[in-house]
Structure 1
Amino acid sequence: MTAVDTDGWVRTSREGAVLTVTLDRPDQLNAQTPATWAALKAVGDSLDDGVRVVVVRGEGRSFSAGLDRSLFSGDPATAGGLGQLGSMPAELAQERIREYQAGFRWLRSPGIVSVAAVQGHAIGAGAQLALACDLRVMTENASLRLPEATLGLVPDLTGTSTLAELVGYGRAMEVCVTGRPVTAAEALTWGVANAVVPAGELDAAVATLVAALTAPPVGAVRETAALVRSAVRNTPEAQDAAERAAQARRLAELAGR
């Protein structure tokens, strides 16, 4: 089954427990707009309990080159543009950005593991979409870049927290402030990429990873994913308690209670 959002250029298809979300604007290198983020949020809102893995892809030669150029207009009349946001009262601008962030944050929802399949450029919003996923498979020619600071802006689509979790304070600071690209080789060394493969092997590598993610019992995967996510923020004591509670639930299920 395939569904297409023609306004946001987002296409979805599902095969069993695996949902694939594709940015489908290859002629514009999958540049994103507020309609894209609304479409992504709608996908997250529509998830059902049968989905175990979400794969995020970009059609064509690049994952996503970031914001559509039209959004850089300083004209307050440009819908969704930076000028329009800048002309709003701070509270309203923040609420609008919060809505945009919701198109990214759901990729770490309870019950799913998300995988970004990244080829070519992943810039700005594109990099943050890849970072929003739990795991990333990148092609050898791929790179991630967060250039917002060099444009007088900040990464605001959940990118700072997800990057810092992955690479630590120092590297995240350097990448976010300088805006330099992170190559696939660096991403692999830093733990941002789980695998780096030739461009022609991306589909096969993602399929292999998805098969491994869906092989264990669903309950065990969901509990384990929740524990790994909480581990980066919990105190050791809180995490120990979370592990105990999760294991008790798994044992009770296995015992038929």
Structure 2
Amino acid sequence: MGQYENLLLTLSGQTAIITINRPTKLNALNRATLGELADLLGALKTNREVSGIILTGAGEKAFVAGADIAEFVGHSEEEGRAIAAWGQEHVMNVIHNFPKPVIGAINGFALGGGLEIALSCHIRVAVETAKMGLPEVSLGVIPGYGGTQRLPALVGRGKAMEMILTGDMIGAKEALTWGVVNYVVPATDLLHTCESLLNKIYTRSGTAVAAAIEAINASQTGVKGFDVEIDAFGKAFGTADFKEGVSAFLEKRTPNFTGNL
């Protein structure tokens, strides 16, 4: 894994902590940052020493306060499509389908592309002061990194329509009530809560966790999710983790899983 200008990488045991590091720009997603994220995610996907990821922002103000709007100026319709397509394919969808658990640690404002990157994560934990929203309609555009698709899956069509059509922000408690985030915690507990969740997941079968992520995601893709689940369930029977898990259950002991996340 190389050196990055806009990202910080910290390893904590089996966990990789990625910090988007543009605090003077409220960690806005410019092309360079998205490119670095794509590169780093690719490296972590195949790194057998890393079992999970925490994604957060530098400073106390923002997780990611949106895309770098200045980069949108002067582009044609086709160039606009290309911007959205690249971000979706190489960053948002990679996080969404990552075979290892990815937790978004929302440490402040998560707006526009920032909320979309958080929505791509498998689990979200927010600080009490966090603010979230998709304000794109106030700029004459719409969410382009999956917000119109992933937000309704979490909060339902009605609430997603309200958030996207008004462009208004919501607070952390409201986000918790609506299902945008899993937990709301004091800022001092943010990383600890994320690491505790991952450490619990690490005690489970890595191969089963990866299969579960794939099957859950299939419910949103228009494919036959039940068929994906059935196939993944069947494949589990051929894994060493399944044999170990069943043996441990029958022998009333703690399983020793060897399948890597």
What's the TM-score, normalizing by structure 2?
A: 0.83
**Structure 1 counterpart SS, 2:73:** helix
Residue identity opposite 1:20 in structure 2? I
Tell me if the contact between 1:104 and 1:129 (Cα under 8 Å) persists in the aligned partners: yes
**Structure 2 counterpart SS, 1:5:** coil
Counterpart in 2 of 1:99? 86
Residue identity opposite 2:73 in structure 1? G
Counterpart in 1 of 2:228? 242
Residue identity opposite 1:83 in structure 2? V
Q: Any stretches of 5+ residues in structure 1 without a counterpart?
A: 73-80
**Structure 1 counterpart SS, 2:55:** strand
Aligned counterparts of 2:207 and 2:107: Cα–Cα separation in 1: 32
Tell me if the contact between 1:3 and 1:12 (Cα under 8 Å) persists in the aligned partners: no
Alignment map for 1:63-74 (pairs within 5 Å): 63-68=63-68, 71-72=69-70
Counterpart in 1 of 2:59? 60
Alignment map for 1:15-34 (pairs within 5 Å): 15-34=12-31
Q: Report deviation, 1:28.
A: 2.6
**Structure 1 counterpart SS, 2:190:** helix
Aligned-CA RMSD value: 2.0
Tell me if the contact between 1:41 and 1:104 (Cα under 8 Å) persists in the aligned partners: no
Alignment map for 1:126-145 (pairs within 5 Å): 126-145=114-133
Counterpart in 1 of 2:39? 42
Q: Report deviation, 1:64.
A: 1.7
Q: Report deviation, 1:110.
A: 4.2
Out of 173, 182, 193, the residue aligned to residue 185 of structure 1 is 173
Tell me if the contact between 2:97 and 2:217 (Cα under 8 Å) persists in the aligned partners: no
Q: Report deviation, 1:45.
A: 2.5
**Structure 2 counterpart SS, 1:111:** coil
**Structure 2 counterpart SS, 1:252:** coil
Alignment map for 1:194-213 (pairs within 5 Å): 194-213=182-201
Aligned counterparts of 1:165 and 1:222: Cα–Cα separation in 2: 20
**Structure 1 counterpart SS, 2:10:** strand
Counterpart in 1 of 2:154? 166
Residue identity opposite 1:67 in structure 2? A
Aligned counterparts of 2:97 and 2:47: Cα–Cα separation in 1: 11
Render the CA deviation track for 1:79-112: whole Å, top value 9, x for unaligned. xx22232xx3x33432233123322221022412
Tell me if the contact between 1:52 and 1:111 (Cα under 8 Å) persists in the aligned partners: no
- Number of positions where the alignment pairs a residue of Structure 1 with one of Structure 2: 238
Residue identity opposite 1:64 in structure 2? V
Going from structure 1 to structure 2, the CA distance change for 1:209 and 1:3 (only over 3 Å counts) comes to farther
Percentage identity across aligned positions? Answer: 29
Going from structure 1 to structure 2, the CA distance change for 1:169 and 1:251 (only over 3 Å counts) comes to same
Counterpart in 2 of 1:230? 218
Tell me if the contact between 2:9 and 2:18 (Cα under 8 Å) persists in the aligned partners: yes
Q: Report deviation, 1:134.
A: 1.1
Residue identity opposite 1:111 in structure 2? P
Aligned counterparts of 1:99 and 1:242: Cα–Cα separation in 2: 26
Aligned counterparts of 2:11 and 2:86: Cα–Cα separation in 1: 25
Aligned counterparts of 1:98 and 1:204: Cα–Cα separation in 2: 34
Counterpart in 2 of 1:10? 7
Going from structure 1 to structure 2, the CA distance change for 1:44 and 1:84 (only over 3 Å counts) comes to farther
Q: Any stretches of 5+ residues in structure 2 without a counterpart?
A: 245-261
Q: Report deviation, 1:16.
A: 4.7
Render the CA deviation track for 1:49-93: whole Å, top value 9, x for unaligned. 52431210101112122233xx43xxxxxxxx22232xx3x3343
Aligned counterparts of 2:120 and 2:180: Cα–Cα separation in 1: 11
